[in-house]
Structure 1
Amino acid sequence: MHHAWLLAGPKGVGKGSFARAAALRVLADAAGPRIDLPGLEVPPDHRIARLIEAGSHPDFRLVQREAHETGANKGELRRGIVIDQIRKLQALFQSAPALSDWRVAIIDCMDDLEPQAQQSLLKLLEEPPAKCLLLLVSHVPGRLLPTIRSRCRRLDFATLDEASLDTILRERQPDLTEAARAKLVALAAGSADRALAFAELDLAPLADEALAILGRGDPDNSRRARLASALALKAARPRYTAFLDIVPPLIAAEARRSDGARRARALAAYDQARETAAIAPRLSLDPAATVFGLGTLLASVAEG
């Protein structure tokens, strides 16, 4: 098996879940005895499953953005994955495995790696130890260093179909009505994360406002001003983060429905909205200004 896999595809379609399931199955089989179940299934009471769930498996690491431990931003997530986290990962692969002859790490997600962290990871990819597995999640693999991409096998994940999204919503949000589920599925653009965020964070009113701007414009700036005001406060940060995630797919859907000049405007707005949504959290851009700017991109599609 290749030592590094790039799990690529839209956000919220199961890449991270697949990585966790694959890591668990590899480590459980390696520790023995091999599991007599199909696919990546592992009994939830398996000792390796319990160790990973507790965060105490010595041969496994999950690398994600970490919270600031001190200062004014204490408790908030850092802008990205820093080089020290990758150095700790290197230390894992340089040491002898404890419970089997395999070591596994997940980076979720690669798009969060700071430039120095990417360079540090490259060294590990170039000289991998024996029996190590790196599962690298990326929503936008084109932004990664070409040298990183070239050293990985790529596994692409597609968006989820409507039936799968409806099943997930039934399981995770059983109180939703059939009509509410149908609306969420239509807005989710194939992403389970997006559908659940709509339900859990009450994002439907924000999406309706964005769709109104996209369809009819915003000549007096009132709609985008309301959006900016609603998402500007610190308490609204989860909804703001989710809003960043939902605007590009809304514009993409409009591009698919349109033709001619409107389609060209939608495609141009989509590229800019996707870039804004990607960099805003990492650069700590002002939420109100960012939301207003996204509203302007939405309006540009309608107003031309």
Structure 2
Amino acid sequence: MHHAWLLTGPRGVGKASFALAAAERVLAEAAGPPFDAPGIETPEDHPVGRLVAAGSHPDFRLLERIENKSGTGLARNISVDQVRELGELFTVTPALSPWRVVVIDTVDELEASGANALLKMLEEPPANCLFLLVSHVPGRLLPTIRSRCRRLDFQPLGDDAMTSILEAELPGLSAAEREKLIPLADGSVSKALAYAALDLAPLESQALAILREGDRDNAKRSKLAQSLSGKAAAERYHAFLEMAPTLIAREARSLDGAARRRALDAYERASETSRIAPRLSLDAAATVFQLGSILASVAPSAGRG
């Protein structure tokens, strides 16, 4: 097995879950006792599985963002010190089997010096060591890190898989609510769960009204902008940033000719706005109003203007 794998794809499609399950399977098979289970599954009662789940397996490390110094949330990055601490794993003999496994969730969040420290480990990997690196945006990684890894791409989940998972995760959700939620989530379970918790159906209805009917007097987009401004609406605002391009893309599939070209242009502009708004800390109300204008540009009335 190659020593380093880059697990890529959209957020919420199971990359980290796969990495943890694969790590557990590799360590369990190496340590024993023998078992028979399909795919990358490990029996729930296997001793190695219990150690990994408890975070106490001596030959396994999970790197992810930790709490910041002020205790108010997670740090912005995985620090170089966290990466350097992996050296302790490699300077001692493996405890339970010949194998050691490292999962980084996500490698995108490594600070620059941490990425360089990881690169040194990937260039001269210890024997019987497996790195599983989760990445949402592999294009932003150091090319030298990408070149040291085999790549495994994950695709958005299909409707059947989404339905099955949501039935298990949200048993109280009605079939009608699931049918509305799945297209919005764009194949991402984490996005679907977040959207369900935030009750985004009214936001979708308002956005679709602007998208399909336009907004000649600015009333609809002004109402939408007002509802998503302020600290209390922060989570719904960020969800709307993700939702707007998805709605436009979904609408574009049902259009043709000039209408489709307008929708595709609007999708590009909405995607760019949604991408830069959090990074630049743009005013929420102004950003929502701008996205509303982009949605309105897709409406049939815009094509006649």
Normalised by the length of structure 1, the TM-score is: 0.85
Q: Secondary structure at the match of 1:257?
A: coil
Q: Deviations over 1:123-161 (max 9, x none)?
A: 222221111111111222222222222211111112222
The one-letter code sitting in structure 2 at the alignment partner of 1:144 is L
Task: Pick the aligned partner of 2:202 from 202, 205, 212.
Answer: 205
Deviation of the 1:86 alpha carbon: 2.3
Deviation of the 1:301 alpha carbon: 4.1
Task: Note closer, same or farther for the CA distance 1:240–1:65 as it changes in structure 2 (3 Å cut).
Answer: farther
Q: Secondary structure at the match of 2:58?
A: coil
Match of 2:93 in 1: 96
Task: Pick the aligned partner of 1:138 from 125, 135, 138.
Answer: 135
Q: Is the 8 A contact 1:6 1:138 kept in 2?
A: yes
Deviation of the 1:5 alpha carbon: 0.9
Matches within 5 A, 1:163-242: 163-242=160-239
220-229 or 176-185: bigger deviation: 220-229
* Alpha-carbon distance in structure 2 between the residues aligned to 1:96 and 1:236: 51
Deviation of the 1:273 alpha carbon: 4.2
* Alpha-carbon distance in structure 2 between the residues aligned to 1:98 and 1:140: 34
The one-letter code sitting in structure 1 at the alignment partner of 2:43 is P
**1:258 matched to 2:255:** yes
Unaligned residue ranges in structure 2 (runs of 5+): none
Give the number of equivalent residue pairs.
301
Q: Is the 8 A contact 1:79 1:281 kept in 2?
A: no
**1:29 matched to 2:26:** no
Task: Note closer, same or farther for the CA distance 1:131–1:175 as it changes in structure 2 (3 Å cut).
Answer: same
Task: Note closer, same or farther for the CA distance 1:113–1:259 as it changes in structure 2 (3 Å cut).
Answer: farther
Match of 1:112 in 2: 109
Task: Note closer, same or farther for the CA distance 1:291–1:64 as it changes in structure 2 (3 Å cut).
Answer: farther
Unaligned residue ranges in structure 1 (runs of 5+): none
Q: Is the 8 A contact 1:105 1:134 kept in 2?
A: yes
Q: Deviations over 1:230-254 (max 9, x none)?
A: 4444444443443333333333323
Task: Note closer, same or farther for the CA distance 1:131–1:231 as it changes in structure 2 (3 Å cut).
Answer: farther
Question: Is the radius of gyration larger for structure 1 or structure 2?
Answer: 2
128-137 or 263-272: bigger deviation: 263-272
114-123 or 287-296: bigger deviation: 287-296
Match of 1:85 in 2: 82
Normalised by the length of structure 2, the TM-score is: 0.84
23-32 or 262-271: bigger deviation: 262-271
Q: Secondary structure at the match of 1:243?
A: helix
* Alpha-carbon distance in structure 2 between the residues aligned to 1:5 and 1:192: 23
Match of 2:240 in 1: 243
* Alpha-carbon distance in structure 1 between the residues aligned to 2:114 and 2:273: 22
Q: Deviations over 1:191-222 (max 9, x none)?
A: 22222222222122222233333333444444
Match of 1:40 in 2: 40
* Alpha-carbon distance in structure 1 between the residues aligned to 2:275 and 2:113: 18
Q: Deviations over 1:19-66 (max 9, x none)?
A: 111111111112212322111111223222222222222222222222
* Alpha-carbon distance in structure 2 between the residues aligned to 1:173 and 1:282: 32
Q: Secondary structure at the match of 1:101?
A: coil
CA RMSD of aligned residues (A): 2.7
**1:16 matched to 2:13:** no
* Alpha-carbon distance in structure 1 between the residues aligned to 2:85 and 2:222: 44
Task: Note closer, same or farther for the CA distance 1:209–1:175 as it changes in structure 2 (3 Å cut).
Answer: same
18-27 or 39-48: bigger deviation: 39-48
* Alpha-carbon distance in structure 1 between the residues aligned to 2:252 and 2:66: 36
The one-letter code sitting in structure 1 at the alignment partner of 2:59 is D
Match of 2:50 in 1: 50
3-12 or 46-55: bigger deviation: 46-55
Q: Deviations over 1:56-92 (max 9, x none)?
A: 222222222223231xxx3222333333332233443
Q: Deviations over 1:163-218 (max 9, x none)?
A: 11111121111122221111112322222222222222212222223333333344
The one-letter code sitting in structure 1 at the alignment partner of 2:183 is A
